[in-house]
Amino acid sequence: MKLVRNLLLGLYVNIFLVLLLVILTFISLSGNRICVLLLFAVFVTALGSGLFCIVVGVISVFAACRLFQKQEYGILRHNMKILKFSSIPYLFINFIIYYLLFIIFFVASRGTATVTPIPLFFMFVIFFTYLGVIFTSAYGIGLLALLLKEKKLKAGCFLFHLLLQLCFVLDVVDTLVLMKKFKRNGSLGR
């Protein structure tokens, strides 16, 4: 549970720093040196918090593998539920920030931003957001593997749920389905 808390804390600290970075970027356009230094400090801190999320995420993957080996169905299910549902506001805030930035660039460039390298910047940011959030799927994938191992889930359903667990937004819907379908002890819900 400590890993789950640390991963969520890292994600929310990171999104706060990214928001602060965006605000300071617009303030520092006036040329204030203190704002520029503060902008650099927040940028370095945001990178550090992103790396923290990735490291804690990798540790969470190993923890999910250990729980799978011990066949800890209840803990896998609980951690999956906490991570998926607690990351919803993070994803929402993240989407709003980058959507607004894209709109600002698009409007400021009068549409020419779509044919410049600026959209690549957004793809780069989305990739790192995905890299940070993909680790929230570790416990869900561990649960799916355990259900497959115990023959409570067919291979085709396993692959379908696996793909859903690896997609934004659909992973939360899939978690709801899995929570309803498989109760606490792994038995099928009616």
Predicted confidence at residue 25, as pLDDT, reads 74
Predicted confidence at residue 190, as pLDDT, reads 41
pLDDT per residue as tens digits for the range 107-129: 766 766 666 666 666 677 777 77
Predicted confidence at residue 131, as pLDDT, reads 79
Contact (Cβ atoms closer than 8 angstroms) between residue 185 and residue 74: yes
Three-class SS of residue 1?
A: coil
The residue type at 120: L
- Extract the residue ranges of the chain whose pLDDT is less than 50: 189-190
Output 22-28 pairs: Cβ under 8 A, ≥24 positions apart.
22/97, 22/101
Alpha carbon distance 141, 122 (integer Å) = 28
Predicted confidence at residue 185, as pLDDT, reads 58
- Single pTM value for the model: 0.80
Alpha carbon distance 165, 171 (integer Å) = 4
Distances (CA, A) of 120 to 123, 127, 148: 5, 10, 39
Contact (Cβ atoms closer than 8 angstroms) between residue 67 and residue 75: yes
Alpha-helical segments (H) within 29-169: 33-69, 73-86, 88-108, 118-133, 138-149, 155-165
